[in-house]
Amino acid sequence: MDRSEAVLRELKLYPQWGRRNQPAPVVAEQCVPITVEVEAIAPAAVVVPAPQADKLNWPELKQRVRDCTACKLRAGCTQTVFGVGDEQAEWLFVGEGPGADEDTQGEPFVGQAGKLLDNMLLAIKLKRGKNVYIANIVKCRPPNNRTPQADEIATCLPYLQRQIELIKPKLIVALGKTAATALLGRDAVLGSLRGTLHDYCGIPLVVTYHPAYLLRSPLEKAKAWQDLCLAMRARHGEA
Ligand code: URA
């Protein structure tokens, strides 16, 4: 048994199988401005002024996030969690927001969900930090791990947008509904976003389940594997 087969068995994703017919990519006409995205997520949301991040370099952006108090989340968390990995990565994985472990350690996906994410990466022959960058939609832990609110997402999103501009990934994998809807600028059930190649400002984007959801619903791992296969095909220009 080779290593990737062993990993897939561990994930309960073996034997592998894939889709026969790939749906056509959905391509956004242009990069969607943030106010549109927020309204799409929650039409009634109050749109707060978003921090300016569009010209910052890496050190400036990291400092800006570290110093940020632009929304109410910062008061309730230990530290901001900027993101981790290869700053020229081809693969970008985006989660929702830090949990308790991430809040303590200052790094995304270091708890149980992070272990599963690491295994998902291994299953497609990737490794945290090597050609992979991991970030979240919001940089501060929401209280009791609640879903970030629309105004918090709107406030924090420019930081991720700037990270994406600096990284220039070749593929984005949105982990869960919060990441998918924030990046795509429209609300939808996660199931309806899966299985299609989306577009974020010219970068192909694949939607899959959040690893924390997969821990609660292990039977859905097979679908996550399908999504990772789509991501791999997209990365190799075959989707
Ligand atoms: N869940 C997330 O969405 N992000 C993390 O960093 C950890 C758990």
Question: Tens of pLDDT along 28-74?
Answer: 334 654 443 444 444 444 445 567 899 999 999 999 999 999 999 99
Mean pLDDT of all residues belonging to the chain: 86
**Which two structure tokens, joined as six digits, stand for 212?**
């924390």
Residue 222 is predicted with a pLDDT of 98
Q: How far is the CA of 236 from the centre of ligand 1 (A)?
A: 27
pLDDT of residue 225: 98
Token pair of 91 as six digits: 């693969």
Torsion angle in degrees (nearest 10) through CA of 145, 151, 155, 158: 90
Best residue for ligand 1 mutational test, from 80, 94, 103, 109 (most atoms within 8 Å of Cβ): 109
Ligand 1 atom closest to 113 (CA): 8
CA–CA distance, 152 with 59 (Å, rounded to integer): 23
Residue located via tokens 């969900």: 113
Given this model, what pLDDT does residue 22 score?
38
Expressed in angstroms and rounded, the spacing between residue 109 Cα and the centre of ligand 1 is: 5
What number does the ligand 1 atom closest to the CA of 137 have? 3
User: In the numeric block, which tokens belong to residue 37?
Assistant: 């995205």
Instruction: Report the C-alpha dihedral over residues 235, 188, 191, 211, rounded to 10 degrees.
Output: 70
- Between CA 111 and CA 98 the distance in angstroms is 10
Task: Answer for the pair 97, 141: CB distance below 8 angstroms, yes or no.
Answer: yes
Distance (angstroms) between ligand 1 centre and the Cα of 21 equals 32
- Tens-digit pLDDT profile for residues 132-188: 999 999 999 999 999 999 999 999 999 999 999 999 999 999 999 999 999 999 999
- Which pLDDT does position 239 carry in this prediction? 83
Q: Give the residue-averaged pLDDT of 121-138.
A: 97
- The full set of domains in the chain, from first to last, is 28-44+52-235 (3.40.470.10)
Left, alpha or beta for 210 (phi > 0: left; psi -120 to 50: alpha)?
beta
Q: Report the distance separating Cα 5 and Cα 13, nearest Å.
A: 9
pLDDT band at 2 (very low <50, low <70, confident <90, very high): low
Distance 209 CA to ligand 1 centre (A): 12
Q: What percent of the chain has pLDDT over 90?
A: 77
Which atom of ligand 1 lies nearest, measured to the CA of 107? 6
pLDDT of residue 147: 98
| pLDDT of res. 18 | 39
CA of residue 171 to ligand 1 center, whole Å: 19
How many Å lie between the centroid of ligand 1 and the Cα of residue 20?
A: 32
What pLDDT, on a 0 to 100 scale, did the predictor assign at position 5?
54
User: What CA–CA distance (Å, rounded) separates 140 from 158?
Assistant: 14
User: Ligand 1: residues whose CB is within 6 Å?
Assistant: 95-99, 102, 108-109, 113, 136, 212
Q: What angle (nearest 5°) sits at the alpha carbon of residue 148, between those of residues 209 and 129? A: 55
Take residue 92 and report the two structure tokens written for it.
């970008």
